[in-house]
Amino acid sequence: MKKLFSLLLAVLMLASLSAGACADTGDGGAFDFDMPEVGLVIHIPTELLMSPAGHVDFNYGEELSYGSGAYYTEIGYYAMSEDEFNAQESFDETRYAPLAAFACVRNGCDLSAFADAGISINWANSWRVGTVGNYTHYFISGGTGADLPVGFVEPYASEYQSLLSSYQGLAATTDYSEPVNPYAEQDGKVISFETTDLDGRPVTSTELFAANKVTMINIWATWCGHCVGELPDLARIHNNLQSMGCGIVGILSDGQDPDDLAEAKQDVQDAGVGYPVVMMPKDGDTLFDLHALPITYFVDSTGTLVGVPVSGAQVDAYEKAVQDILNGTVPG
C-alpha cells in the first residue's frame, strides 16, 4: 500500500505510550489511537494488541493523494512472531492478511483514489458507519478468513480467525470526525532562512522566493529513491511553472557529508535540473515538518506558506497544487 506509515502496535506501542497518537483510557482495558488526520479515534482493547502468537500491525496514512479526499487506515495480522517481524528486510505479504480497515471519503469524491493508491477494497464487505460534516466513513471487515495466504500455518491461521470477529466490533466503538489537515497550524507561517547553494555560495530565501508568485519548495535526500527519481519530472515542471510566473526551489537535506554532496550534484546534473538547489538551513527542523521525504511546500513571494503541502513523490499533483493556489481553489 502506498503512502501508509506502518506503526508497530503490540510491544512497541504498549511500551511507549508517550506518543500523542496512543493513550491509555485509564480503565486498564483499552488504548485510544487518536488520528485526527484521518478522522478517527480507535479504541482498541488491550488483549487485541497483545497477540500471543502473531504480530498485529497498523498502517496509518494521511490523504492518499493531493486533493483526492480519500483516507485509509488498515489493521492487519502477520502470521509470524514479533522477533520474525522485526527481523524482516522486506514485508512478506504471503504471511499477511487484514483484520479491519477504515475508509473516509469526502462527499462527491471519486472512489478510484483507493485503486490509484494500490488499495483494493471489497466494498461488498464494508458498511457505512456515519457521515460527519462533508465526509463519510466506512468500515471494511478483514473477511471471513476462508482464503488465507499460503503463509498462514498454525497456530497463526486459527488465531487470525479468532481475532476477526473481535476486530469487527471496532466499527461501533470508534469515534469518527472530519479529517484535519495536519499542516493547518502552519498556515500563514513565513519561511525565512539563509543558506548556501550546492557550491557553497550564500543565498537567502528572499532571493529565492521574491520573483515568483508561488514557489514549490521540494525537500529531498540522496538516499531517498523516490526523491531522486522525480528530479527529471521536477525539471520539466519547473519549465512549465515559469510560464505562470512560478518556480521550484530544491532543498537538500543530507548534503553535510562530502560524499552525499557530490552524489547530489551528480543527481541534479543527470536530471537536467535548472532550478536552484540549496542546502538545508540550520533551523530546517523548525521551519519544516520532515516526517517523510520527499515533501513539497508552497510559499508566495514573501515566503508565506500557502496551499496544502504534498507528501511523497506525487508528480501529477505539483502543477495542480500551484494552479489551485493561483486560482484560490485549494481543496480541503
pLDDT of residue 146: 67
Amino acid 332: pLDDT: 60
- Interatomic CA distance for residues 152 and 92, integer angstroms: 11
Nearest CA among 104, 103, 52, 48 for reference residue 76: 48
Mean pLDDT, the chain cut into blocks of 10 residues (332 residues total): 34 31 54 90 85 82 83 92 88 90 89 84 86 94 78 92 90 93 78 95 96 96 95 96 96 91 96 96 86 91 92 89 88 65
Instruction: Indicate the fold that domain 184-327 takes in CATH.
Output: Glutaredoxin (3.40.30)
Vertex 99, ends 61 and 147: CA angle to 5°? 125
For residue 165, the SS3 value is: helix
- Residue 271 grid cell: 536530471
- The residues of the chain that CATH labels 3.40.30.10 are 184-327
pLDDT of residue 180: 87
Cell numbers for 39, please give them: 478522522
pTM of this prediction? 0.74
CB 107 within 8 A of CB 179: no
pLDDT value at position 51?
Answer: 67
